[in-house]
Amino acid sequence: MMHTIYVTVGLLLIVKASFAQQCLTNQRPSASDTNIPSYIVDLDTPPFLRWKEIAIQYKSKIKDLLNYTKSYIIKVWPMFTFLLDIMHTQLPLIANTLPEPYGDELKGISQASGISLGEIVFYNVFYEVSSLCTSIVAQDQHGRIIHGRNLDFGYLLGWDKTKNTWALPLKLRPLVISVNYTKHGQVHYRAISFAGFIGALTGIKPGVFSVSLNARFDLNGGYMGIIEWLYNFDRQQSFVTFALRDMLTNAKNYSEVLDYLSDVLLVAPCYYILAGTKPSEGAIISRSRRTTLNIKRLGADNNWFLIQTNSDNWRQQSALDDRYISAKKCMQTQGQSRVDFESIYNVLVSRPMLNKLTIYTSLMKPSTGQLESSLQYCRDEDIACTLW
């Protein structure tokens, strides 16, 4: 078994080494090519009904994703088929114990879509244990801040031989939507999400802050937090995506967000990447489930940009993942005088930041509330794509 692991890791290193890094230019799509549909979730509507339209419209695609995931577990990891029983018998308990409005929102999605509550909960908590991402916060010479991110998902969860790519991103891209959360008829905040997913992965509150979430891997990971929640060992924790949505809903300023996300107990370890509206308002909060391990701030040590992938930014980066080093090189190449949507987009779609796991790219300007997002497809005919 160990020999197989060593051989696999060695092969992965060879594959990664065979791809040269790059820094592209002139890649930003036109507004008509951003290709992500937009919906309204009215926060003045009862939670049970808020997602009804979206749940009905996307139920077949959500079912397709869940059916693939379940069949993959049965086929590839038969020793873990007991997880499917837990999905139906135990995970509904999470919906019954979540703080409002989240429990009722999940129950409403389940009823509207006809998908079991356990499966809807599974779909909403899976990010607690798996994801790969790249986030960048940068400040130009005038103190204006831009926040960009790639969301990558589906590592080691199946390969589509016919399309020569990871299988899960193919199922997730049709679910990506832009959500305008409204109160009293006005946009309160915006998020890029998956249909039927009620937490926040990428969001902006106009004139206040923007935020993205990257997974952080730890032995004391999200699976432990979910077990603790299920068996009532600790329900003082917050699910990482719900903590973000809490802040998008309630926070009045950047400092409030920074303090809360640094202190809140979490179900899973993660990286919170923040950007504000004033010079030097940017930070990467590296979280364990219980504490903040490190806060890296924009402007400290003359840093005009911050980059976060899925490794601790104060440690040596893994040889298996060169996204951080490559993104840093591209940012330094373009320089601080060229911090705008186009330049950050160019970095995020350069290799290996853009790879076969990349589902979407988002660009945010918190001072104005501007948000642009586009689906990503790393095609071998366009570029020699890295696997991650």
Q: Give kind and range of the element (H or E) at residue 180.
A: strand 176-183
Cα–Cα distance between 92 and 97 in angstroms, integer?
9
- The one catalytic residue in 133, 330, 378, 385 is 133
Degrees, nearest 5: CA angle 158-159-161: 150
133 is catalytic: yes
Q: What DSSP string runs through 238-298?
A: B-HHHHHHHHHHH--SHHHHHHHHHHS-BSS-EEEEEE-SSTT-EEEEEE-SSSEEEEEET
Q: Which DSSP symbol is given to 75? A: H
Q: Give kind and range of the element (H or E) at residue 363.
A: strand 358-365
Nearest to 327 by CA among 358, 300, 291, 294: 358
Cα–Cα distance between 132 and 137 in angstroms, integer?
17
Q: Which DSSP symbol is given to 147? A: E
Residues with a catalytic annotation lie at 133
